[in-house]
Structure 1
C-alpha cells in the first residue's frame, strides 16, 4: 500500500489523565497535515454493571468537550462518544468515517506464560488497515528523529518508505540488526572459532551494507541515515532507543486477523508495550 498525507485522523481516547498527550499530538498532526480530527471515546459496555451508562456517557462528553477546548493549535475537530468494545467500535467507526490515520495512547499489556494479552491499542494495531500511531511521550514539537527497524524484506521496506512519506522533514535512520551463523562443519572443521566467526561477521556486514545501499536508493532520500548492528533485532532496537532516544519508531505490521492472533503479540505490538517512545505501526500488506 502507498502511504500519503492523511486527510482525516481519528484519535481513540480513553480519557485517562495521560490521554492529553495523544490528543496534543493528534492536534499537532492534524494542523500540520491540514486534516480533520475525529476524537472518539468508546464507553466499554459491561453486562455485569449495566447501570449508570447514561451518566458515564454524559461525563465522557463533558471531558471530551474540555479536551477539545484545550487544543493548542487550530484544526477542525469533531467528537463522538459510543458504547461497546473499544477496539471493535474504533475500527468500525474509523472505516465508516473514512479515517486514514489512527492515533491511540500507549499499549499496556500483561504476560501470562509466554503470551501477551493485548491492550486496546495493540488490538487496533493488529487489525487496522491504516497507519496507527501509539503516543507515549508528551509532544515537544514535530517529530525530529525517527528510526525504522529493517530486515530488507518488502514489509520493512514499505514501512520505512511510509514513515518517510508521512514525516519527510524528520531525520530518519534505518536500523538493521544482523546475526552471524557460522558453519562449524565441512572445510571449517579444522579452523579456529575466532577466524570462522570473524569471516562470517565480515560477510554478514558486507551483505547488509549492500542491501542498505539498495534500500536508501529505493527510498529516494539521500539524507537517510543507516546503522548496522549485531544482535537479536528486538534487543538491538531496544538498546538503540535507550541510547539515542529517538522521537518515534516505525514498524511494519501484516494485518493479521483478531481470531488468529488474539493473544500472541506481533513484533509491532511488543514494541508498543516495551519501547519508551512513540511507535508508528504501518500495515504493509499489498
Structure 2
C-alpha cells in the first residue's frame, strides 16, 4: 500500500445504494488505496421521508420505515464489502444516521475529521446534462474539505497509477487556486501523473473596453505568473508539469482541454467557507462538475494544503 499523503488520512463515502453512489464509492476507494487513507462509509436515512410516512400512515407505516432503514444498512454493507474485496488492508468504519442527508454528511466530516468526501453526480441524460444530485450539490456548497465528484461515465475508469496519467489543474492565481495547486501536486505524486496547469484568459467580461489587445496581453501575463507558481511547486515535489494559457470562458476552456488532452482527473479550487456561512462553489467549478466526463476534485479555500 502507498504511504500516507499528509492531509489525506480519511475518506468519506456517502451512499444511498444507487448506481451513482457506487460510482463515487469506487473512485473514492481508488483514492484511499493510492493515499493509504482510512475509509468511512455513511448512509443517511432521510428524516423528512420517514416523518412524512409516519405522519400519513401512523403505525401502519412502520413496515415501510423499517424497509427504508434496512435499505440504508444494506447500502453501507455493500460499499464496505467492496472496500474489503478491493483492498483488504484498508480500515473501514460504517455508519447509518438519520437526518437531512447533506447536513448529516457535513456534520460527520467535522466530527470524524474527514479529509476528502467522494460522491457520484447525476451526469448526462440523452443529449443534455441534468442537475447535480441535490445531496451532492449541497455537500459541494457546504463542506470545508475537498470533494471528489464522480460522474457516471467514470464508473469503470480507475484512479490508479496504472490508469491515471494526466491531471488537469485550472488556476487563476487566486488564494483558492493556490490551495488547489498543493492538492493537485500531491495527487499527481500519488498517481505518478503529469500536472497540466491551465489558465483561461477570458476577455468576455471586458467587452466594453476599447483596447482588447492590451487587455488580452495583461491577462496572458497574469496567466504566465499563475502557471509559474504551479510549475515551481510541482518541480519542487518532483512532479512532471506542463502549462498552457488559453483564451475563452474558463468553464468551456477547462472542459475542452480535458477532452482534447485525455485528462483523467481535474483538481479545481472553490470559494469554500467564509466565517459562519458557506459560499457558493462558484459558477465555473459548478459548470465543470456538471459537465465533466472525468472525476473532479473540488478544493475549498478552507482546505489545508498538502
8 Å contact from structure 2 (residues 132, 290) kept in 1: no
Distance 2:294 2:31 in 1: 17
Which of 29, 32, 37 pairs up with 1:30?
32
Does residue 53 of the first structure (1) align with residue 55 of the second (2)?
Answer: no
Higher mean C-alpha displacement, 247-256 vs 174-183: 174-183
Larger radius of gyration: 1
Match of 2:18 in 1: 16
For residues 29 and 260 of structure 1, do their structure 2 counterparts lie closer, same or farther at Cα, with a shift above 3 Å needed?
A: closer
Match of 1:191 in 2: none
Aligned pairs for 1:210-229 (under 5 A) are: 210-219=225-234, 220-221=236-237, 223-229=240-246
Match of 2:106 in 1: 91
Match of 1:133 in 2: 148
**1:179, CA displacement in angstroms?**
2.9
Distance 1:32 1:89 in 2: 27
**1:201, CA displacement in angstroms?**
4.2
8 Å contact from structure 1 (residues 252, 283) kept in 2: yes
Distance 1:124 1:275 in 2: 18
The CA RMSD measured in Å over matched residues stands at 3.0
Query: What are the superposed Cα offsets for residues 252-275 of structure 1, whole Å, 9 maximum, x if unpaired?
Result: 12224796757x864323322222
Unaligned runs of at least 5 residues, structure 1: 110-115, 186-195
Provide the TM-score with structure 2 as the length reference. Answer: 0.76
For residues 84 and 145 of structure 1, do their structure 2 counterparts lie closer, same or farther at Cα, with a shift above 3 Å needed?
A: same
Higher mean C-alpha displacement, 222-231 vs 137-146: 137-146
Match of 1:157 in 2: 178
Match of 1:190 in 2: none
Aligned pairs for 1:39-78 (under 5 A) are: 39-45=41-47, 46=49, 47-50=51-54, 51=61, 52-70=64-82, 71-74=85-88, 75-78=90-93
Distance 1:69 1:184 in 2: 59
Distance 1:183 1:267 in 2: 22
Q: Which has the higher helix share?
A: 2
Distance 1:125 1:235 in 2: 20
Aligned residues: 268
Higher mean C-alpha displacement, 46-55 vs 165-174: 46-55
